[in-house]
Amino acid sequence: MLTRGDMLTLPFEEPHMMCEPRFGANYPRESLPDSLQQQERQQRPTARSDPEMMREAEDDLSDREEDEREDDQDENGLQKKRGPRKKRPGKEQVDRAKLRRQEANARERSRMHGLNAALESLRKVVPCYSKTQKLSKIETLRLAKNYIWALSETLSAGKRPDLLAFVQTLCKGLSQPTTNLVAGCLQLNARNFLTDHNGEVMFSGRSPYEAMYSYTSSDMNSPPGHSGGALDTGSKPFRHYSYSSAYETYFENPSPDSGSPHFDGQLSPPMNFNGIFSLKHDDPQDYGKSSHYGVRYCGAPGRSALAPNSMYRVSPEARFPYDLHVRSQSFQTQGEVNGSYHN
DNA sequence: TAGGCCATCTGGTCCT
DNA sequence: AGGACCAGATGGCCTA
């Protein structure tokens, strides 16, 4: 099946093929390959019935007249000194300009392909990745921004996040289909999420967390640019609590008929619900050379600094909490969740 | 069929 | 001069 990314992609070596549909519009005639130009000349009717041809002829005429006139008078109509006559571009210059344009087009395509490749690699590290159901460019960027924000909050709080709050942060500003997609990727019941008219994500049901902790899922900062939403009610960081019962509540029934999009592609698990934020991706060489993800957030203002690659070297009290508590706490469930990602 | 998303072309601007 | 970057225009594909 052809993906969106594959469509309209033509080989660089055949720029005229890509230009062809545009000839009828505003593509410059001089850009036609010589053979096509010749062919077009031969096909021109002698009668001046084609409006485009008439326009061309008028342009030619007016150009010539302007060339002649511009030597006689300046813009004020005063007699102008005769200088070197402006030379109309010769065939060589036209060909050269044509070539430069084609080269520029190829570079532009290449540049955009690079941009798309970077976007694709970004898709693979945000919390929802499917080869068959790709996030759009804009949604990928939004989700990435939310993800960075949520992880930064988690790091600054130094505690395990509230699951719902985390997911709600992820989904902020995303379209309803993308929200469903993310919820589906994370195996949450997408029906529990609503998007209001402002695009803010709300949780429609009563969270079991709220029942257990009398703590609302809105107790966290909102990402920049998302003020005033349903989640913007406080500055408290993610709350530290045990996931075990909540996990059961949310994942014992993974809601296969939740209305979420169908996922038959690869899902990447940048986050695990039992609190371990591991990043899985197809090409770890991209990241293995760099420092651990957590280190990248340490330079943020207000964040406590860690030595490079030193997430596990700092004192236990200051350590990223997930490895301290959660691995032993719910190792089995982590495996279950991971298993679903690796389908 | 309208709207969203996308790839490509194109000309302008800025920088080296 | 030439390359990188950008935004507008255009047209194709897909989906609700």
Nearest Cα neighbor of A313 from A331, A330, A298 is: A298
Nearest Cα neighbor of A335 from A286, A269, A246, A285 is: A269
pLDDT at A88: 67
How many whole angstroms separate alpha carbon A121 and alpha carbon A86? 51
| Highest mean pLDDT (candidates A80-84, A130-134, A184-188, A276-280) | A130-134
In strand C, the nucleotides that come within 7 Å of a protein beta carbon are 2-7, 10-14
Nearest DNA or RNA nucleotide to A16 (CA to C1'): B9
More confident residue, A270 or A245: A270
Q: Which of A86-95, A161-170, A200-209 has the lowest mean pLDDT?
A: A200-209
Residue A113 has pLDDT above 50, yes or no: yes
Q: Quickly state the pLDDT bin for A129 (edges 50, 70, 90).
A: confident
Number of helical H runs and strand E runs in chain A: 14, 2
Q: Supply φ then ψ for residue A267, to 5 degrees.
A: -110, 135
CA A93 to C1' C11, whole Å: 30
Q: Supply φ then ψ for residue A271, to 5 degrees.
A: -135, 150
The rounded mean pLDDT for chain A is 50
pLDDT at A86: 55
pLDDT at A227: 38
How many whole angstroms separate alpha carbon A293 and alpha carbon A281? 13
Contacting residues for A160 by C-beta, under 8 A, at least 6 apart: A154, A238, A240, A241, A243, A275, A321, A322, A325, A326
Nearest DNA or RNA nucleotide to A109 (CA to C1'): B8
Residue A80 has pLDDT above 50, yes or no: no
Q: Quickly state the pLDDT bin for A84 (edges 50, 70, 90).
A: low
What is the mean predicted confidence (pLDDT) over A249-265?
Answer: 31
Residue A187 has pLDDT above 50, yes or no: yes
Find where tokens 């529990």 sit: A192
Residue A63 has pLDDT above 80, yes or no: no
Nearest DNA or RNA nucleotide to A101 (CA to C1'): B10
What is the mean predicted confidence (pLDDT) over A280-284?
Answer: 37
| CA A9 to mean position of chain CA atoms | 19
pLDDT at A171: 86
Q: What is the pLDDT of residues A32-58, one digit of tens each?
A: 333 333 333 333 333 333 333 333 333
pLDDT at A87: 63
3-state secondary structure of A259: coil
For chain A residues 175-234, those near strand B by a CB cutoff of 7 A are 175
More confident residue, A325 or A152: A152
More confident residue, A147 or A26: A147
How many whole angstroms separate alpha carbon A112 and alpha carbon A20? 21
Nearest DNA or RNA nucleotide to A136 (CA to C1'): B5
Question: What is the four-CA torsion angle of A148, A250, A183, A278, rounded to 10 degrees?
Answer: 40
What is the mean predicted confidence (pLDDT) over A228-233?
Answer: 32
For chain A residues 100-139, those near strand C by a CB cutoff of 7 A are 100, 103-104, 107-108, 111
Find where tokens 């990314």 sit: A5
Q: Is the CB of A100 under 7 A from strand B?
A: no
**CA-based Rg of chain A, rounded to a whole angstrom?**
30
| CB atoms closer than 10 angstroms to residue A7 | 7
In strand B, the nucleotides that come within 7 Å of a protein beta carbon are 4-12
3-state secondary structure of A273: coil
Judge contact between A269 and A341, C-beta under 8 A: yes
CA A342 to C1' C4, whole Å: 40
How many whole angstroms separate alpha carbon A116 and alpha carbon A120? 6
Q: Quickly state the pLDDT bin for A160 (edges 50, 70, 90).
A: confident
Q: Is the CB of A92 under 7 A from strand C?
A: no
CA A4 to C1' B6, whole Å: 7
Q: Is the CB of A22 under 7 A from strand B?
A: yes
pLDDT at A136: 86
